[in-house]
């Protein structure tokens, strides 16, 4: 007896179901593999794959600038332009473009070819140690100023949101950066992600976030403080980091050049409809040295902003539970807010602003913990940051340091 085994073709899933499955895939390798299965899957998966375009010249995924190496595999990635075959088809799909710092030759800075991402919403820039997108910005021969060649990949972009990672406010200058003027023209939101050892924003002498020709449409600015620990061997941290001492003394230093702490230049009568949010300032407590922390605890004792038992436990190096440590961070955020608001109030009095103007200006400031922002504003942070990064940040926030 012959047994014939009939193979029945697998039923095809409706495109709507396949599309829903693809939408729940978060990793790029899986989406990339789907694109290679068939033309129909490519048509469905490729827009999701290209929605978030990231270009980097570096090998690996590490963030340490000291150990990075240029990748041979990625040496041609910076050549993208409108005539590149794959870009000509997919450039309309890109909603977020992330670009890491790179040598000027990698993006072919000398060429006139353009990269147009016509539906771009968010531009995310990872700055280098020199506070630039080009790693090889060099001094002009015999002169003090630097040669800054505008990055070719950015010249024609018009995002609504710009995110600057690894942001150092003491050196960044919007008007002389290798970031061309055009990307700023339609920007409504600026997100500044500041590493814990770069918190010298009160001394940002070159800062100018007023709505000049670069920022005509600015509406919101976010300071997001990155709690990722800084290695103790960091030269910047050892030689320069006196953040809390400076913060605590500024109230009595009215003779200092007053910087508008809403990130707008005070001398240019900044617009008052720009909202500024400080996210996670409590993490700055962990960056203080031991004596700065003890000084802060004494201030808490004077104002009764912490329970005496919590202060005693901290000063005695006894074990502190997570909830008590969270209250210490909250108290530091309150201190941070009080100092900034006090500084802003003195500035407004100096400028002769009336009570109504002062209240309007104060109302433009927001201070939120990391937990509050995650819970209240998911639509914002989920568009700008990866969920894995938030989970890592939350872990660091639970690390108790003395």
pLDDT per position as a tens digit, 53-65: 899 999 865 454 5
What is the spatial distance between Cα 192 and Cα 223, in angstroms, rounded to a whole number?
5
From the list 291, 288, 280, the residue with the least C-alpha distance to 232 is: 288
What residue segments make up the domains of the chain, in order of their start?
15-55, 80-139+146-400
pLDDT band (50, 70, 90) for residue 251: very low
Confidence of residue 98 (pLDDT cuts 50, 70, 90): very high
Question: Order of strands, edge to edge, in the sheet holding 275-279?
Answer: 52-55, 96-100, 122-126, 161-165, 189-195, 220-226, 275-279, 365-368
Give ∠ CA 78-65-235 in degrees, rounded to 5: 150
For residues 169 and 194, what is the distance between their CA atoms, to the nearest angstrom?
Answer: 8
> Pick the residue with more confidence: 214 or 244?
214
> What percent of the chain has pLDDT above 70?
68
As a whole number, the mean pLDDT across the chain is 74
User: Own/partner pairs for 250-258, CB < 8 Å, 24+ apart?
Assistant: 250/202, 250/339, 250/343, 251/339, 251/342, 251/343, 254/346, 257/205, 258/343, 258/346, 258/347, 258/350
Model pLDDT for residues 174-219, shown as the tens digit of each residue? 766 788 888 998 999 989 898 876 654 444 333 444 445 677 888 8
Q: Report whether 186 contacts 215 (CB < 8 A).
A: no
pTM: 0.79
């Amino acid at each position: 007896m012959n047994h014939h085994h009939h193979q029945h073709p697998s039923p095809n899933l409706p495109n709507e179901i396949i599309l829903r499955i693809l939408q729940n895939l978060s990793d790029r390798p899986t989406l990339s593999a789907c694109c290679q299965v068939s033309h129909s899957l490519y048509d469905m998966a490729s827009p999701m794959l290209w929605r978030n375009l990231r270009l980097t010249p570096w090998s690996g995924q590490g963030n340490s600038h000291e150990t990075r190496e240029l990748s041979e595999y990625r040496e041609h990635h910076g050549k993208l332009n409108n005539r590149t075959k794959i870009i000509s088809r997919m450039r309309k799909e890109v909603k977020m473009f992330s670009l890491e710092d790179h040598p000027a030759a990698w993006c072919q800075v000398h060429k006139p070819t353009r990269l147009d991402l016509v539906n771009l919403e968010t531009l995310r820039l990872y700055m280098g140690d020199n506070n630039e997108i080009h790693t090889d910005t060099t001094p002009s021969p015999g002169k003090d100023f630097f040669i800054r060649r505008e990055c070719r990949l950015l010249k024609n972009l018009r995002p609504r949101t710009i995110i600057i990672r690894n942001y150092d406010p003491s050196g960044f200058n919007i008007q002389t950066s290798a970031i061309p003027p055009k990307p700023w023209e339609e920007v409504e939101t600026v997100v500044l992600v500041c590493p814990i050892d770069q918190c010298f924003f009160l001394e940002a002498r070159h800062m100018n976030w007023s709505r000049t020709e670069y920022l005509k449409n600015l509406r919101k600015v976010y300071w997001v403080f990155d709690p990722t620990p800084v290695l103790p061997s960091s030269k910047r941290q050892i030689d320069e980091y006196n953040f809390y001492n400076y913060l605590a003394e500024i109230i009595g230093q009215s003779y200092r050049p007053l910087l508008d702490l809403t990130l707008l230049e005070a001398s240019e009568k900044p617009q008052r409809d720009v909202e500024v949010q400080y996210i996670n300032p409590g993490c700055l407590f962990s960056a203080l040295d031991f004596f700065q922390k003890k000084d802060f605890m004494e201030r808490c004792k004077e104002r009764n902003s912490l329970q005496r038992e919590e202060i005693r436990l901290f000063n005695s190096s006894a074990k502190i539970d997570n909830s008590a440590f969270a209250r210490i961070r909250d108290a530091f955020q309150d201190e941070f807010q009080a100092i900034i608001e006090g500084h802003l109030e003195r500035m407004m009095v100096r400028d002769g602003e009336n009570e109504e103007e002062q209240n309007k200006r104060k109302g433009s400031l927001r201070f939120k913990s990391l937990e509050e922002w995650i819970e209240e504003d998911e639509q914002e942070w989920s568009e700008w940051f990866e969920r894995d990064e938030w989970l890592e940040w939350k872990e660091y926030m639970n690390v108790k340091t003395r």
